[in-house]
Amino acid sequence: MEAALQVQPTTGTSSRDVLAAAIGRERAAVAALESASIAVKQARAAVEEVKSNLAQFDDLDERIAAARAEMVKRNDPGTLPEGFIAEREARRATRERLEECSSALALLEAQQGAAEKALREAAEAASVAALHVILDEASALSHGLSAAQQKQWHLADSLYALDLVVNVAIGTLPHGPKGALRQRLGRLLQPLNAQRPEPPPLAPNSPLRLEAALWRALHAELRRDPNAQPQATWEK
C-alpha cells in the first residue's frame, strides 16, 4: 500500500511518466516472481529426489540389527560388514543432504512469498498511477462541464427574470392578448422544468453504464501502455 501512495505525480513529472515507471517496476516484479517460482520448483524436485534416495535405507536398521544378532550368536564382537558401514554412512550423508535441500527450499519459498508481495504492491502502484492519468484526462471534462453549468445557470436566470417581467406586464393588459402571450412564455420556459430522459443506470443502453465501460477500458489499456489515449467520443 505504501508504494501505491507514492505514485502521485510530483512537480515537473507527468502522470504518464510516473505510470511508465510503475509499469516497468511491475514487469520487473513479474520476472522476479517467475524466477523465484522456477527456483522453488527446482528445490522441491531436489527434496523429493533426496527423499526417494533416502527411502532405500528404510530397512537398514533392521538389517543391521539382524546382522549384529547373528554375530552375537557366533560370539563375534567384531565390526559390522563393510557393506553395512558404507550404507550407514551413505544414509547419514543423504539425511544431511535432505536437511540442506529442505532448508534451501524454505529459503526459496520465503523469497517467492516476498516476490509475490512485491508484485502485488507493484501492480497496485501501476493501477493507482493509471488512475492518476485518467483523472488528468477527466480534468478537461470537469472544466468543460463547469463552464457549461455557468452558462446554463446564466440562461436559467435570464428565463426566470423574463417570466417575472412578462407576467407583470401581462397583468396590465386587456384579457384578449394575455392568452397568446402566456402560451408563448410557457413554451419558452419549458427548459426550466425539463427532465433528462434516460434508462436505469444498469440498463444495457444506459449512458452511465456505457461511459463507465469506456473509463474501465482506458484504465485497463493504460495498465499495459502508458501512452494509451481516451476514446475520441470524449470531448476535451
| Residue 225, C-alpha cell as written in the block | 501502455
Spatial separation of the C-alpha atoms in residues 19 and 11, rounded to whole Å:
15
In 42-168 the beta strands, taken as DSSP E runs, fall at: none
Number of H helices, E strands in the chain: 5, 0
Spatial separation of the C-alpha atoms in residues 12 and 199, rounded to whole Å:
43
Question: Running DSSP on this structure, what letter comes out for residue 172?
Answer: T
Structural domains in the chain (count):
1
CB distance 206 to 199 below 8 Å: yes
Spatial separation of the C-alpha atoms in residues 179 and 195, rounded to whole Å:
26
24 lies in a domain? yes
229 lies in a domain? no
pTM over 0.85: no
Q: Domain limits at 213? A: 4-224
231 lies in a domain? no
Spatial separation of the C-alpha atoms in residues 229 and 225, rounded to whole Å:
9
If you count them, how many residues does the chain have?
236
38 lies in a domain? yes
pLDDT tens track of the chain, all 236 residues? 444 445 555 555 799 999 999 999 999 999 999 999 999 999 999 999 999 999 999 999 999 999 999 999 999 898 999 999 999 999 999 999 999 999 999 999 999 999 999 999 999 999 999 999 999 999 988 999 999 999 999 999 999 999 999 988 888 877 768 888 889 999 999 999 888 877 776 778 888 888 888 999 999 999 999 999 987 555 54
Q: Which of 196, 212, 194 is nearest to 204 (CA)?
A: 212
47 lies in a domain? yes
CA angle 130, 233, 205 (to 5 degrees): 95
44 lies in a domain? yes
SS3 173: coil
188 lies in a domain? yes
